[in-house]
């Protein structure tokens, strides 16, 4: 089963969107296997966003993501990575469709509420970075027989 790394960013936590976002992923049929309220360090932020290190917004991005706690999660399910990206919506909320998380709750690209892995490779990398060595919960959900 595919796993994706999803994180409610500090703006989403401060704006009380954790419950709403968890609820959307639950209702979609994905399974939560890891969750942690976490203060992202500068070191972790720099590694997580390494692909953007030469971009003009990198310093602000790291400053923002380390400014307050985030809510990190791993969700499991068929096509979890692509589905997570669809549920988040486009990076810039001005382009995100209504009905997506960024489309419904974001206004600016700098504070776009949520992070989600964009490929198998980044999912594996991000899960190892944020949840490596942490206990994952392995369990069955009876409702899965109504989803799969």
Catalytic amino acids?
115
User: In this complex, which beta carbon is closest to ligand DAT, that of residue 13 or of residue 136?
Assistant: 13
User: In this complex, which beta carbon is closest to Mg ion, that of residue 29 or of residue 47?
Assistant: 47
Between helices 80-88 and 18-28, what is the axis angle to 10°?
140
Comparing C-alpha atoms, which of 6, 144, 148, 139 is closest to residue 75? 6
Say if residues 117 and 130 touch (Cβ distance below 8 Å). Answer: no
- For residue 118, what are its two tokens? 């964009």
User: In this complex, which beta carbon is closest to Mg ion, that of residue 104 or of residue 118?
Assistant: 118
Say if residues 22 and 32 touch (Cβ distance below 8 Å). Answer: yes
Q: How many CB atoms lie within 10 A of CB 95?
A: 11
Quick check: 61 binds ligand DAT (CB under 6 A)? yes
Quick check: 48 binds ligand DAT (CB under 6 A)? no
38's contact among ligand DAT, Mg ion, none, with CB below 5 to 8 A by partner kind, is none
Smallest gap from Cβ 118 to Mg ion, in A, equals 5
Among positions 91, 124, 125, 129, the unique one binding ligand DAT when judged by CB under 6 A: 91
What distance separates the 2 farthest-apart alpha carbons in the chain? 47
| Interacting residues with Mg ion between 108 and 127 (CB under 5 A) | 118
Q: What is the rounded distance in angstroms from the CA atom of residue 71 to the CA atom of residue 126? A: 14
What residues form the annotated binding site for ATP? 9, 57, 85, 91, 102, 112
Residues of this chain that interact with Mg ion (CB under 5 A) are 118
Residues of this chain that interact with ligand DAT (CB under 6 A) are 52, 57, 61, 91, 109-110, 112, 115, 118
């Amino acid at each position: 089963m595919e796993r994706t790394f999803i994180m409610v960013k500090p703006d989403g936590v401060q704006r009380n969107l954790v419950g709403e976002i968890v609820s959307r992923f639950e209702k979609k049929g994905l399974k939560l296997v890891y969750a942690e309220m976490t203060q992202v360090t500068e070191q972790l932020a720099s590694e997580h966003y390494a692909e953007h290190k030469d971009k003009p917004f990198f310093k602000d991005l790291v400053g923002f993501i380390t400014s307050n706690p985030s809510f990190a999660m791993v969700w499991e399910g068929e096509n979890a990575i692509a589905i997570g990206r669809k549920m988040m919506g486009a990076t810039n909320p001005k382009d995100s469709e209504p009905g997506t998380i960024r489309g419904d709750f974001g206004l600016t690209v700098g504070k776009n509420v949520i992070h989600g892995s964009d490929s198998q490779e980044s999912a594996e990398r991000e899960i190892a970075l944020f949840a490596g060595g942490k206990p994952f919960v392995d369990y069955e959900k009876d409702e899965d027989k109504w989803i799969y």
